[in-house]
Structure 1
Amino acid sequence: MIYEERRITLKRGQIDSFIAQFKESTLPAIRSHGGETLCTLSGLIGDPPEEMMQITAYPDMAAWTDAQDAFGTSRMENIDIEAVRHLKPIAYRPKETIPDEDLRGFYGHRRFFISPDDLDEFVHCSEKGIWPRIEAQDARILGLWTTVASTTPQEVVLLTGYHGPAHWEETRALGDRPQQIDPDIWNRGRELGQHRRDMTIKSWVRLMRRLEV
């Protein structure tokens, strides 16, 4: 699988028009080439709502290339600017098919910058420590990716779903252990979370709202 990250800045007041056009023409064209859009997100905290992001999965680069006809000039009436890049998955998320019960109304979009030498250990800390803890708190990991292009430092992209801003705050592991969470899961999550922070050169996060499409 190959994943497309599409960042879109909409013209003011064009969110509803953009979503309607995407549902009517763009999404069916994507699906006709075997693609599937995992999420359509709009800025909530850290960006205005006109700052959008979509993650779309394609079977391969040939399918992605064929699907580019879906993004025609008719979209220009809604869009100010957009940029696209390719991502590759590096963990057991995203799932091949994402069930409805895994979806959340809000997503943390986080970008990490690490040494390429630390990538495997970074993924280990995420999969074996942090993710079990926050999923025990009813968050859901949508996916973990890195860029197809090799860079130094290396960028890692994480999308995690939450029920709302307050739920996001609850998962920060800064306070006492919630009673419903197993102590081993909690302690391992905090330990490996600290190890992951130690590997992180810098990181950046914004909270986004998932739009129904």
Structure 2
Amino acid sequence: MARKFSEEMIFVETQLEAKPNNADILLDFIRKDYVPNIVKNNIKPICLLRGMIGKPSNEFILISAYNDINLWESHTNSLPLVNEKIIYEKNTLLKPISTNKFMSCENNTLKNIYGYREFLIETKNINTFVESSEQGVWPRVQSQGGKVLGLWANITNSSQKRILLLTGYDSVSHWEGTRSSNQYGLSFANAPESSKELTETEKILRKNREDITISTTVNLMQNVNLNY
């Protein structure tokens, strides 16, 4: 039976950093102990990512979906993530902001590499950001084989929002092939014809997204298979 998703669903980004030389031990704990436990409590792991380029290999990011805030609160009270190999742990509550809010839950096939991209924008510009991404930037990336896993915003009441975008690629070279060789002219090296046809539309919408972005960073992370 297909799982039903709640409109009140929230996501949690758990950032973990292992002690030096203990990354593989921590990874083993996450895969064999922590993830099976949260699955038993009706929490859905979306992905587990490991630092690759821009983030160290002893840093992990786990994205999980909770039906509502009550499930998250009960989880934090009953199933704390305790392991002596961890030197840093941070949980960030996220709200899906893409048109298809459940896209990450419906994505059963993950890519090998993920672009972990963060943006800082004014809260009032979220709708423009989503439109520019979905209609301007994503079509080109998807036509070249990239796959957007999810788009989220931090759950805060502040005037600015941190946006998290995860996009999957087959390899580092695949990711490099989707980058524009000229950021504003939007010319692409080795781009397929379908991508070239999108550049005029993207030129306008990408510029809109750039104009409302206060800052942005991107790191490449490796997907870790979760067999649960």
Instruction: Establish whether TM, by shorter chain, passes 0.5.
Output: yes
Q: Which of the numbers 200, 211, 217 marks the counterpart of 1:198?
A: 211
Q: Which of the numbers 41, 61, 70 marks the counterpart of 1:62?
A: 70
- Give SS of 1:57's match: strand
For 1:94 and 1:42, how far apart are their aligned partners in 2? 23
Aligned pairs for 1:33-48 (under 5 A) are 33-48=41-56
Q: Which of the numbers 2, 8, 17 marks the counterpart of 1:9?
A: 17
Question: Partner residue of 2:27?
Answer: 19
Bigger mean CA offset, 190-199 vs 51-60: 190-199
- Give SS of 2:111's match: coil
Structure 2 gap ranges (5+): 1-8, 182-186
The two structures have a TM-score, normalised by structure 2, of 0.85
Q: Do the aligned partners of 2:114 and 2:166 also contact (CA within 8 Å) in 1?
A: yes
Identity of aligned residues (%): 30
1:99 paired with 2:108, answer yes
Question: Partner residue of 1:179?
Answer: 192
Structure 1 gap ranges (5+): none
The two structures have a TM-score, normalised by structure 1, of 0.91
Cα 1:176/1:111, change in 2 over 3 Å: closer
Q: Do the aligned partners of 1:29 and 1:67 also contact (CA within 8 Å) in 2?
A: no
**When the two structures are aligned, how many residues end up with a matched partner?**
209
Q: Do the aligned partners of 1:42 and 1:51 also contact (CA within 8 Å) in 2?
A: yes
Once the two structures are TM-superposed, the CA of residue 199 in structure 1 deviates from its matched residue by 1.1
- Give SS of 1:84's match: strand
Cα 1:158/1:188, change in 2 over 3 Å: same
1:151 paired with 2:169, answer no
Q: Do the aligned partners of 2:144 and 2:192 also contact (CA within 8 Å) in 1?
A: no
1:188 paired with 2:188, answer no
- Give SS of 2:74's match: helix
Cα 1:71/1:124, change in 2 over 3 Å: same
RMSD: 1.7
Once the two structures are TM-superposed, the CA of residue 58 in structure 1 deviates from its matched residue by 0.7
